[in-house]
């Protein structure tokens, strides 16, 4: 839990294998956005055996519905949304190659098990700090489901986007570790 790890996104198995719950991480590169409506559409396509509108292999999906951009900025306030709403869809996306998810809040047991099976991680971004997080986003463009407005799937170029590993590929859970520590 000491030094900060720098990651280049999209991710490879070797990137997620070294991460542990509690690690502080700065992500640079390309990540995708998506919330429940976009996840449902992706899930429905997979269930129907159809191709996805974006390649999710190695990708990180940030659960965010950003505010409109102010003049001269690529994006408005971009704080995380509650991850539990994506839990029903996440295992299937990990099976298809998704390597990381960014949000806030705990994940269901089935999602944690899928992270172990498919070698993916869950990061937390600080809720309530959307304006600060937006400063790490250098470019944003809608790449699918533009009709969903702020909930469209966007391709973000980020530099030193700050997150903390909550769930790693070993099944460790930072939230549970914290509760156990304070229960003593």
pLDDT tens-digit readout, 138-153:
999 999 999 999 999 9
What is the separation of C-alpha 43 from the centre of its chain, rounded to a whole number of angstroms?
16
pLDDT tens by residue, 13-36: 999 999 999 999 999 999 999 999
pLDDT tens by residue, 43-60: 999 999 999 999 999 999
Cα 12–Cα 16–Cα 18 angle in degrees, nearest 5: 120
20 SS3 class: coil
pLDDT of residue 77: 94
pLDDT of residue 2: 60
Lowest mean pLDDT among 7-11, 72-76, 175-179: 175-179
Residue 184, pLDDT above cutoff 80: no
Q: Between these two residues, 181 and 156, which has the higher pLDDT value?
A: 156
Residue 87, pLDDT above cutoff 60: yes
78 SS3 class: coil
pLDDT tens by residue, 91-112: 999 999 999 999 999 999 999 9
169 SS3 class: coil
Q: E-strand spans in 83-152?
A: 100-103, 121-124, 137-144
């Amino acid at each position: 839990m000491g030094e900060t790890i720098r990651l280049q996104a999209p991710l490879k198995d070797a990137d997620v294998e070294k991460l542990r719950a509690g690690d502080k991480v700065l992500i640079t590169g390309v990540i995708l956005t998506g919330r429940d409506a976009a996840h449902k559409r992706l899930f429905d396509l997979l269930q129907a055996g159809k191709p996805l509108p974006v390649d999710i292999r190695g990708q990180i999906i940030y659960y965010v519905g950003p505010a409109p951009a102010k003049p001269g900025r690529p994006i408005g306030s971009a704080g995380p949304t509650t991850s539990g709403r994506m839990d029903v869809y996440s295992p299937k996306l990990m099976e298809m190659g998704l390597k990381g998810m960014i949000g806030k809040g705990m994940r269901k047991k089935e999602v944690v098990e899928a992270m172990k099976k498919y070698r993916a991680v869950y990061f937390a971004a600080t809720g309530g700090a959307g304006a600060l997080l937006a400063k790490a986003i250098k470019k944003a463009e809608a790449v699918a489901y533009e009709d969903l407005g702020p909930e469209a799937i966007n391709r973000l170029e980020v530099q030193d986007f700050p997150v903390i590993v909550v769930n790693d590929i070993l099944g460790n859970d930072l939230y549970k570790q914290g509760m156990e520590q304070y229960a003593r």
